[in-house]
Each structure stands twice: as C-alpha cells, then as structure tokens.
Chain A
C-alpha cells in the first residue's frame, strides 16, 4: 500500500491541456443536431465504440484517449458498454461485411438524438483495405456519419479534438 501511495505521489498529475489548433483533420458532413442538444452533449457525452473491421490500431489510440495524459473524462466524455446509454457512436474500420449487421443494430439501439463519428482513414474511404467483396466504401454507406476524423491511425489528441469538434466545442 505504501508503495502504491508513493508511486501516485511520484507520478503527480501528467494530464495536459489539449493544445489549441491541434493537427486534427476532421471532415464535418454538415448534419447538425439542434444547438440545445449539442450544448448538453458538450457537458456530458457517453460513447459506444464499434470496431467495424479496423486493424486495431485505431482501438489502441482510442484507448489512449482515456490515459492520464489525455483524460477524456475531464471533458465529460466517457465510454459505455451499452448502446442504450450512448449519445455518440464511434466507428472504426471500413465496415467489414461480417460487421455490417452488428453496426446497424448498434446504431439502431442508440436512442435519438445521437451523433456518429467515424475514426481513421479506412472508415472514410476504405483506406489501405480498399472497397471489395468484404468491405464497404465508407462507414457512411452503412450509417449516417456526422464527422470523420482522419489519420492512420489518428493520434489520441486528434481523436479527442475531433470528438469535441463534432459537438461544436473547441478544446
């Protein structure tokens, strides 16, 4: 116990302010929820992630959003297991054929109003995998998307900045 407390004391607080003008490359699709709703999402946003065929690099960087450096919780952002509790659906991957139905069902299970953010180059245009017999051209072919966060994979700071941008909040 003493060692744990000592380590916590040694570590201190490593959380950093989110740099303004972050290099995040985000494409907003122009879909827009009502301002009153977005205002609420800016205070508290619950996210359900669905990996729809990524190579798992995006998952690593989304996990990193919760690490002490980026600490997504300070923006009221947290991840949930149940789509029923979610405000936002985060999607990675080019939508593999075998995940298409599960992705649609998860989207349907999230109650309105909801946002969809697609993460990574392959979620935007199938990226390195290309459209093919087992992949769609884009997540937007399967569910309506509000924002794409580009990168292969995007850095955690870009993911966080992109999520905030999708709800109309700067850093």
Chain B
C-alpha cells in the first residue's frame, strides 16, 4: 500500500497548496477542516479519491447569520484518518461543482442538498428533487434561514419522472409507500422481465419530518432527545453521536464511566437489533420458527433494559456530558446472567440455522453486493463488512472504551444475504464479549459533567458505529452560540443506494429477503 503512505491531509496540501486553508474551528482537532476555493472543490475530491479515500458525507450550511453565503462540506475517510473540505458558495449564485463524477455516493447527498438547501450541484446527472416530493413548492428550501419551519407547507401540482424501461415482456411493479408488514414506508419501483428484476428505483422521503430544521429551534440540551428519535431502533447510537459532537464543539468530555456505560448501551442495542434481524430475515425465507425464537431473546433483553434502565429501548439515557443512568453492582450481575442465558440460547439457534438446507438455499447467492461495488459506493457498517470492507468506526475512530476493548471486525467476501446474516451472528458474539469486558473493567467516577454551549461558530463532529454502521453527526454553533446547523448522516443514506445495485438479476419474490438483510432505516434516511 505504498502509494497510500501519504496522509489525506498531506495529499490535499500537496495538490492544492495555499488553496487548502486550514480552519481550526472544527473539533476534535484530529478531524482537520480545510477551506478550498469553490473552483477546486471537485479537484480536492479527485485528489483524495486517488488516495483511496471514501466520501463519508456531503452537506450544506446556510451561513447568513455569520454574514456569509452557503457552505458546502464534504467529509472523507481513509484508514483511521477523517478529513473535512469546505467551500463557500455565494448566496445569490448558489452553485457548486458536483462530486458525482468522482464519487457515486455523492448522488443522493447532492440531490438532498439541492432539494432542502437550494444549492445546485453543477454537472449532477440527476436533477430530480429528493426527499421533497413533487407536490412541494419548487422554491421551498427548508434548511435556509429565510424559510419558516413552523408553517405547514401547501401542496402544489407536480410530477415525478420515474426511470422507465420498455420492451417486450417488460413490466413494472410499484410497491409502497405503505408496505405489507409492520414496517416503515417507502416506494420501490421494479422493472422486471418474468421474475427477473432488471431495475429497481427507490423513492424515499415519506417520513421526512424536518428533523434537521427543528434542531435549529432547540436548545443544545433538548437536541439530545430529538437525536434519539432520528431512527428509533438506533436511539443510543444517534444520541451518542449528537452528544459526542456537542461535547467536541463545547470542549468538554463525558467522564470515563459515562463513556463506558454509553458503549454498554450501544452494544446492547447492537445485539437486540442483530438478533431480531436474524429472525426476520429467516422469516422472509419462510423459516418462521427462528422469528419467534429470536423474538423471545430480543424481548428478554428489552425487559432487562426496562428493569435496569427504565426504558425498553434505552431512549434518553445518553445526555450531553454523560449518561442519565448508572450500572450498579446488582445491575452488572443481572446483565451477566442475562447474557449467559441469551448467549446459550443464541448458539443453539445458530446451530439450527446452520443445518437447515431450505434456509441455506434461499440465502446463499441472493442479493449479492460485490466488494468492488461496495467500495465504489462507499457503503458502511455490516453491509460493507459482508462485502469484504474493513470498516468499523469503533476501530477507525476509537472513543473509550474501544481503544482498550478492541472489537473484532468480522468480514465475509461473498456480499450475499448469507454474508449479511453471518456478520450479524459474529457481531452478536463479539458484542457479548465486549459487554462482559466493560462490566469487568468499568471505571468508577461521576456519570455526567457540565456541558456548556459551544462558542459562537464552533463546530463539532463525531463518528459512532451504530448497529447498522458508521453514523456521523456534525454540529455548528451560530453567532449567539445557538444551534445553527445539525447534520446527521445515518448509514442508510449511503447504503440504500447500494440495495438498488445488489438487487439486479434477482427474482422479484427474493426482494423482501434481500431488503431485510440490508434492513436500512427510512426515518434515518428521510430525517
């Protein structure tokens, strides 16, 4: 890996010279921020791509409260290095060079920026709105400061241009937004010949609630509660992401005991979701037995949560500056007992899973996402690991206790439904190990520290490995130390796009199975 020996920071400075101006306003300082001229924004992306960097997120800010125009931001990662590049965009000419030619993942980020902030990605091949459906006024840009977030938007006439396929025997299947099961809404449009899917187009945004805009009217403290509701199944990870970004911007740190308890809750969230998913995926392959068995394990864990922490999904336990719950000696031993029982049952179920040929027949070779495509699209989390990518924010961006308790990063190459099940199985095992270590070495001390509001203009960033994968939070304080912008990047925002590719060539009846194996969040994507 000689050609990557140079860091992203050095590569950027070498290529852009004085045009890459460091900005010390973003914390932690380990994630540097460079401001580049707009004309060289896309060039910076190409330079970083040549260093095998991944586009992690791209977003826009309205900086009129600072007397500036818009900001367009891109976050990159390679190995354990994260780096942000920003360019300024004038308010009266809101246009910036699209990164889609370099990064596929920029596709939806930029459509979102165009739709919600009204900054135009010049050269973007797809100018249709995203999140904003056809009945929104075209000039309504909710994330602009001039936009009134309190008033319900009126509906206008409009049309959405779907991707079309024509030819003999080609037909379309529209699905959603209301789906068959007890799940979230979204629209999938298939073009198929016989049973073979030749194209899938997703349209999401149905559960867009204006979360990012709402942050701008909340206090920093109240923000944590909303962050915990970006995606309810990932409440701990998102609340952690928000709080860590806030703490970075404010220059405070949660006490060690609080950080370890956060990790404990995060790993419990991972286990409960993975176990539930393994059952639900099996159910979509007509192996109902496993659904009910795993539902029992999941329910037991949620009941322990309720008994020990007062909430089944452990919402609102992570707060700015620390945590709202402690783990007593009694609670620790209750968790140990629960894990021993869950682990024993889980291993019995895994064995049943392994020698079930009808399940095997469905999951091998279905919904394959190749390693090359996974890398190209910048997918993260368990989906990336099932397609051979060595990505885990707990390892690449370790916060306590993950520098001491190092997670195994289970990976498979095949990228099919089976691989995504198997990565989950291995992660359940590893999370159980991590929790046991946390309980063994849990530091003593306070649970929470005072977290002041960040200084005007301060920015904070965080990277958290939720159960789906890498979550990014980026916060910016305004001139009065208020929330000027809160950006959340759920793993779903990058991984939904990959499902469209993984499904090609599969048969229509396998879609629920493939979709479940990805199990991306609609709410986390739509915000």
Interface residues, chain A, with chain B CB atoms under 8 Å away: 3-4, 7-8, 11, 14, 49-64, 66-69, 79, 81, 93-94, 96-99, 102, 106, 128-136, 152-153, 155
Contacts and interface: CB of A to CB of B under 8 A. Distances in A.
B296 interface: yes
A128 B183 CA distance: 20
Given A14-B296, A59-B182, A102 B313 contact: no
A13 to B, nearest CB: 11
Interface string B136-161: 10001010000111111100000000
A56 B206 contact: no
A64 B298 CA distance: 9
Contacts of A49: 182
B206 A102 contact: yes
B233 A98 contact: no
Contacts of A69: 296, 299
Nearest to A141: B152
Contacts of B185: 50-52, 99, 102
Contact of A53 (B209, B214, B231): B209
A141 B251 CA distance: 43
Given A102-B178, A134-B153, A129 B315 contact: no
A7 B348 contact: yes
B230 interface: yes
B521 A132 contact: no
A94 to B, nearest CB: 7
Going nearest first, the 3 A-B pairs with the smallest beta carbon separation are A57-B232, A81-B180, A67-B295
7 contacts: A7-B348, A55-B232, A57-B229, A64-B299, A133-B147, A133-B151, A134-B153
Interface in B474-500: none
A129 B209 CA distance: 7
Contacts of B351: 3
Contacts of A128: 225-226, 229
Contacts of A81: 180-181
Interface string B185-219: 10000000000000000000111111101100000
B293 A7 contact: yes
B508 to A, nearest CB: 16
Contacts of A7: 289, 293, 348-349, 352
A130 B381 CA distance: 31
B352 A102 contact: no
Nearest to A105: B178
A152 B310 CA distance: 12
B355 A55 contact: no
A135 B229 contact: no
Contacts of B312: 61, 155
Nearest to A120: B232
Contacts of B276: 60
> What does DSSP make chain B's interface, helix, strand, loop or mixed?
loop
B320 to A, nearest CB: 16
Contact of A153 (B226, B232, B348): B232
A81 B178 CA distance: 9
B142 A56 contact: no
Contacts of A3: 348, 351-352, 355
A54 B207 contact: yes
Given A63-B182, A81-B180, A93-B207, A68 B295 contact: yes
Contact of B209 (A14, A134, A153): A134
B232 A68 contact: no
A96 B313 contact: no
B27 interface: no
A131 B152 contact: yes
A63 B151 CA distance: 34
A99 B207 contact: yes
Most chain A CB neighbours (cut-off 10 Å) among B148, B152, B349, B526: B152
A123 B303 CA distance: 24
B348 A57 contact: no
Interface string B352-388: 1001000000000000000000000000000000000
Contact of A51 (B207, B230, B231, B233): B207
Given A56-B522, A61-B312, A153-B313, A98 B293 contact: no
Given A79-B182, A96-B206, A132-B210, A56 B293 contact: no
A57 B235 contact: yes
A14 B213 CA distance: 45
Contacts of B225: 128
Nearest to B306: A155
Nearest to A57: B232
Contacts of B231: 55-56
Nearest to A97: B153
Contacts of A134: 142, 152-153, 208-210
Interface string B296-316: 101100100010000011010
Given A55-B523, A57-B315, A96-B209, A129 B229 contact: yes
Nearest to A155: B312
Nearest to A50: B178
Interface string B278-306: 00000000000100110110110010001
User: Which of A52, A56, A58 lies at the interface centre, i.e. has the most chain B CB atoms within 10 A of its CB?
Assistant: A56
A131 to B, nearest CB: 7
Contact of B211 (A4, A129, A136): A129
B436 interface: no
Contacts of A97: 136, 152-153, 208
B177 A102 contact: yes
Contacts of B80: none
B455 interface: no
Interface in B114-150: 133, 136, 140, 142, 147-150
B237 to A, nearest CB: 13
B418 to A, nearest CB: 19
Contact of B214 (A56, A99, A129): A129
A132 B152 contact: yes
A63 B233 CA distance: 13
Contacts of A102: 177-178, 185, 206
A55 B355 CA distance: 36
Nearest to A129: B209
A132 B233 contact: no
A111 B393 CA distance: 50
B404 interface: no
Contacts of A106: 178
